[in-house]
Amino acid sequence: MRLTVAWLVGATILSAQPFQAKSLSSISVAGNKVEIVNVAYEVVTMQRLLLRKTTSSKVVLDEPGTVATTKLEAWPLGTSLTRKPLFTIQASGTDGRTVEGSLFVIDRGLEEVQWWSVYQLRTGRHLFDTYVPLVGFSISRETVDLRYLGLEIPPDDSPDPRLKQKNVVGVVTYASANGVLHEALLACDDAKQAQLLRSYADSTRSLALTDEIPPRAFKILISQNAPSPANTIILTIPFAADDLDLAHAKLPAGLHLTRWKQR
């Protein structure tokens, strides 16, 4: 199997048409303003793609925040970069990275709020956003069959009116490299508690898998930020048949998980 993969990768690279490309990184400093452009190339053999990532940032010293953009252009491996890219991804964000040769994740956290946008690397299609670091794992001990978890905490000005409801806390996403498989809406009976749990300033959230291989469940932990007591609440959601087993989820009183589908 390893020899076969190595041969395929080698054959792909050898069959690429020879060419050269140069892209300049730059930095400009004028007074208290700093502008930086960095360019990096990457070959993703799994998708037979050549990637060019360009990150641009502007910083005003002694002022909070950064203006930054991350752009990813993709060409079929062996295609000259003078041709139109197969797709282009561009979003505000400080950087981007490939994940397991199948996803591209952009760090969107330009201010105090950390969040990420996840894209399908094969097509450039946006899959989902997450306000905790992306969690990946295999659902099988015998094969590498990867799944990904995210938790979106919608802003108050969310374009989806359903997410503006006062009892909404967030959306759990369960996905593969081929797309989103299942979603669940987390809501709270107490609107004031829901507002606290979804607050960017007052709460910190994280996801953690159980220790089994493959994991049988994952946990969502939500803690209050200092100076308030942490008062961490824990939600445990099991997996069943490559799905989120919402019927057997263990949730604090007043919290509910229901099936959901993004528009």
**pLDDT digit string (tens) for 78-116?**
899 999 999 999 999 999 999 999 999 999 998 789 999
Q: Provide the pLDDT confidence category of residue 13 given band limits of 50, 70 and 90.
A: very low
Q: Which pLDDT band, with edges at 50, 70 and 90, does 65 fall under?
A: confident
pLDDT above 50: residue 121: yes
Whether residue 221 contacts residue 205, with contact meaning beta carbons closer than 8 Å, is answered with yes
Residue 53 has pLDDT above 80, yes or no: yes
pLDDT at 69 over 90: yes
Percent helix, strand and coil across the chain, each to the nearest 5 = 10, 50, 40
Query: For residues 164 and 157, what is the distance between their CA atoms, to the nearest angstrom?
Result: 7
Res. 6: pLDDT tops 60:
no
* More confident site: 19 or 119: 119
Largest separation between any pair of C-alpha atoms in the chain: 63
Res 19: pLDDT: 62
How far, in Å, CA of 223 to CA of 36, rounded? 36
What is the Cα–Cα distance from 47 to 33, expressed in whole angstroms?
A: 39
* C-alpha torsion 163→125→176→241, nearest 10: 60
> Would you call 140 helix, strand, or coil by DSSP?
coil
Task: State the pTM of this model.
Answer: 0.89
Integer-rounded Cα radius of gyration of the chain: 21
Residue 119 has pLDDT above 50, yes or no: yes
pLDDT for the residue numbered 17: 63
In one-letter notation, the amino acid at residue 3 is L
d(CA 214, CA 241): 12
pLDDT at 28 over 80: yes
Residues with Cβ < 8 Å from 5, sequence gap 6 or more? Answer: none
Q: Where are the domains of the chain?
A: 24-123, 125-263
Nearest to 197 by CA among 237, 154, 261, 245: 154
Q: Rounded to an integer, what distance in angstroms lies between the CA atom of residue 135 and that of residue 207?
A: 7
Percentage of residues of the chain with pLDDT beyond 90: 80
pLDDT at 12 over 70: no
pLDDT tens readout for residues 157-200: 899 999 999 999 999 999 999 999 999 999 999 999 999 999 99
Summarize the confidence of residues 57-73 as an average pLDDT.
89
pLDDT of residue 9: 39
Q: What phi-psi label fits residue 169: left (phi over 0), alpha (psi between -120 and 50 degrees) or beta?
A: alpha
* pLDDT number for residue 5: 31
Residue type at 10 in one-letter notation: G
Instruction: Between 142 and 76, name the one with better pLDDT.
Output: 76
Confidence of residue 154 (pLDDT cuts 50, 70, 90): very high
Contact, 198 vs 126, CB < 8 A? no
Q: Which two tokens stand for residue 165?
A: 């409801």
